[in-house]
Structure 1
């Protein structure tokens, strides 16, 4: 390039206009440039919004509906038990972690739109509506990252009497690494836009890996746990995360600093689940039924602490969960409510009498006012989150097996209960013979009117069977923020139990009451 060309200013108004005339004297329409107006139009980049707007609001029909129609549409085939499940906020990508030590990334919408069909042999064990196969995008190994082990300096000193400590200091001790191996994926959490993810390993380490760029590459290892990390939950705001392990520790980590900021002491067995409290009853309603101390909004001075760990210039969409209030449950049946601003647990939900001490899953009501706890004896307990009292118990049919997972739906009337035999959509607003009221003692005198009412409730079935899953332990249930889709996985998570090795994608449609 000549010096004259280097000094050429393309923004100089004195330069002659570009020649768009073709050889025949006519103006080329492909190269046509509008003449500048008196008021120059803004740059196209200035018209773009500051962030990508994704509508994740819940449709009003999903809140006002009398029930839901949940139908399985696709099956993501796995060769081994599926221990954990995670997805982006918009459900664009779904991630599963298996017993074989691999993480798999699935294209959810390509799977639901039928890009690939199940073979006849694969369809044999599923419901009739299941005809589509999950579309896998990629996968990577869950390798245990080697931890350097430095030999003791004194052990490296030769036996020769002429050797001195100074010579060994001159020649620094050698370092070797532990042998790497694949680890089952015991825990998994993914950033809302799939920029990075967290993986829990058998050794107790937690890997921070990139997903969108350099997929599966480990950039940092969080080391504190001494046993498999069974629970990973990103804190709203995405500046930290919770980790629960078989070593009975429940830790809070700072993603910016990479260290533990708090340990929640209280559980005496393996951590099985954690869940943050919903902050809304209806779209746009951020109210909750807990006390004022537990629901105070984040102060402005804490804004820096909630800055998400993200290289994207787009701010994350407003979270629908409290960044302070969460529950945790352990295998022994304990369920604790925590406020991150308090030193000790805010409340403890005791195990009722004649109830086996066992809990694999607990969840919040849609408005955060109640808590549902699944038990080993085939029951789901409903607790008042404010008064910490047991309200009622829903008893599954005989021989249904333990309740492995519970999940609440936004209309406030239905929960999804995953037992060993089937997954049920349970109407908690209906009284039936499957409902046990806490305030109804066994020796209570029943009037004739009440006796007729009790007799009528015996014929009421408060649940419907959700097709797709049958037999085996359900390791995860995930419903998207709009309550239009649901995903279930089967696996024993390293504990006792059988597995069907299935991951099913469901479509949820609201059923409106007839007028």
Structure 2
């Protein structure tokens, strides 16, 4: 990279995180978050959050739409001790959150990391490409805890409910030991006070962070747990404090996606169900039934493709609409849901013949007209959304391993495909089976591990990748890499 990339002026926050006078709006947003989330009149309290969600329009960096390719270079590494299962970031990329196998949510300062506030040690740089010299700046972390379900009875050590003495019952302290033994069933329980501490089954315990998503300005965030619950917590004020628990899934919540209006979210679980939640009252709005295996990914269809002005001075980002939801499961099934009609059955895209039943990730094209799905046999299927027609299969090089994540760039031409061996950037407009040249380039950084998440900011300036198997089959490098994206003319 050029020397100017080392200066602090190169990696700055987007304009939507600053007020008109140039000052940061963090204090204002934190006050609003505290009032919105912690209000006793609004137990989940998101009505007030809409009053502060004021963004300036984000624009793509120049030449994203008309460039021939991209130079995507890793610059910073956030080292983790275990698999990273989930990833989320604010719209302005100020804060980055990772959820890992050890049950911790970690909060990173993205721009401090990219500006090189702390450098990696020689040992941490071992095994990394030469451009990775900066360390991820960890600002805070907290536990993803299984909160006690207060609606359930407290269980004793023998698994039986602990009865609370009523007003008509005798005071246990007035009983002799023989009466206590007969009543409690054992001498040990007889000698234990009834007003005992909470049993181990009631105490909070750690859960791997199977899924994660956050509000565009980090006012709130949601994370999936092993029990099937979803925690709602605040990442800026009272960091990591859980304010509400959504309960209905019976298996690990493997996918979470906030709706575009940020008034609700969609959750998918290993119990094969997809649920839509209302954040204003905590209720389940709709149950999407149709999958026969564990849910692996969720995404909304883009409705407006990015456009550029005639003088190439500015361009708009794509806009997502919550009308069409795509959900995938590990058996290879892709379900397309029209959320405007609750009675309509999903349109299902079955895996082509002789394709292994496996899908961990699928994505939309930038204009919402195509669907790309990664498979276990090292291929990516391309589908036409309007016709529901299979178009072609993009084959990775031999022995590259399963395709664990796919992501389309805003120019609608370049597709990022993450395999076990490497991350590749494909130009889908130049695919030609008769050509001996492979229309892809290697994105340096990860090698030898499954990619659990890829995030690209709305301006297409930065990319973040995480490695982890999400408790499915495959190795991990336990790393979170921060990339700089430069269009190449």
- Report the TM range for the smaller structure's normalisation: 0.7 to 0.9
Residues 259/117 of structure 1: CA separation in 2 closer, same or farther (3 Å cut): same
In 1, Cα distance between equivalents of 2:386 and 2:450: 31
Secondary structure (helix, strand or coil) at the match of 2:452 reads strand
In 2, Cα distance between equivalents of 1:141 and 1:129: 32
In 2, Cα distance between equivalents of 1:268 and 1:58: 39
Structure number, greater radius of gyration: 1
In 2, Cα distance between equivalents of 1:154 and 1:479: 49
In 2, Cα distance between equivalents of 1:125 and 1:204: 37
Partner residue of 1:185 out of 209, 214, 217 = 209
Partner residue of 1:125 out of 124, 127, 131 = 127
In 1, Cα distance between equivalents of 2:449 and 2:208: 19
**C-alpha distance after superposition, 1:181-218 (max 9, x if no partner):** 11111011101000111011111110000112111000
Equivalent residue number for residue 337 of structure 1: 336
Partner residue of 1:495 out of 451, 472, 485 = 472
How far off its partner does 1:330 sit?
Answer: 0.2
Partner residue of 1:468 out of 431, 439, 445 = 445
How far off its partner does 1:120 sit?
Answer: 1.0
Residues 381/117 of structure 1: CA separation in 2 closer, same or farther (3 Å cut): same
CA contact (8 A) 1:56 1:90 kept: no
Instruction: Map 1:50-449 to 2 at 5 A.
Output: 53-148=55-150, 149-150=152-153, 156=163, 167=168, 176=198, 178-283=202-307, 320-342=319-341, 343-433=343-433
Secondary structure (helix, strand or coil) at the match of 1:429 reads helix
CA contact (8 A) 1:150 1:176 kept: no
CA contact (8 A) 2:86 2:100 kept: yes
In 2, Cα distance between equivalents of 1:200 and 1:413: 33
Equivalent residue number for residue 457 of structure 2: 480
In 1, Cα distance between equivalents of 2:88 and 2:217: 12
In 2, Cα distance between equivalents of 1:419 and 1:136: 28
How far off its partner does 1:147 sit?
Answer: 1.6
CA contact (8 A) 1:489 1:501 kept: yes
In 2, Cα distance between equivalents of 1:50 and 1:474: 34
Secondary structure (helix, strand or coil) at the match of 1:269 reads coil
TM-score under structure 1 length normalisation: 0.74
Residues 465/264 of structure 1: CA separation in 2 closer, same or farther (3 Å cut): same
CA contact (8 A) 1:362 1:405 kept: yes
What stretches of structure 2 of length at least 5 have no aligned partner? 1-20, 26-50, 173-193, 310-315
In 2, Cα distance between equivalents of 1:424 and 1:408: 12
In 2, Cα distance between equivalents of 1:124 and 1:384: 43
In 1, Cα distance between equivalents of 2:140 and 2:251: 28
CA contact (8 A) 2:327 2:334 kept: yes
In 1, Cα distance between equivalents of 2:274 and 2:236: 29
CA contact (8 A) 1:275 1:363 kept: yes
How far off its partner does 1:341 sit?
Answer: 1.4
What stretches of structure 1 of length at least 5 have no aligned partner? 1-43, 159-164, 286-316, 434-453
How far off its partner does 1:146 sit?
Answer: 1.2
How far off its partner does 1:255 sit?
Answer: 0.4
- Please give the root-mean-square deviation of Cα atoms over the aligned residues, in Å: 2.7
Residue 505, structure 1, aligned to residue 482, structure 2: yes
CA contact (8 A) 2:153 2:161 kept: no
Secondary structure (helix, strand or coil) at the match of 1:63 reads coil
**C-alpha distance after superposition, 1:36-66 (max 9, x if no partner):** xxxxxxxx9xxx9997544521235101111
CA contact (8 A) 2:73 2:485 kept: yes
TM-score under structure 2 length normalisation: 0.78
Residues 61/207 of structure 1: CA separation in 2 closer, same or farther (3 Å cut): same
CA contact (8 A) 1:58 1:283 kept: no
- Corresponding residue pairs, total: 405
**C-alpha distance after superposition, 1:134-173 (max 9, x if no partner):** 1111111111111233269998499xxxxxx9836999x9
In 1, Cα distance between equivalents of 2:171 and 2:276: 41
CA contact (8 A) 1:142 1:183 kept: yes
CA contact (8 A) 2:89 2:95 kept: yes
Residues 468/108 of structure 1: CA separation in 2 closer, same or farther (3 Å cut): same
How far off its partner does 1:90 sit?
Answer: 1.1
In 1, Cα distance between equivalents of 2:161 and 2:348: 51
How far off its partner does 1:279 sit?
Answer: 1.6
How far off its partner does 1:424 sit?
Answer: 0.1
Secondary structure (helix, strand or coil) at the match of 1:68 reads strand
In 1, Cα distance between equivalents of 2:162 and 2:128: 61
How far off its partner does 1:430 sit?
Answer: 1.0
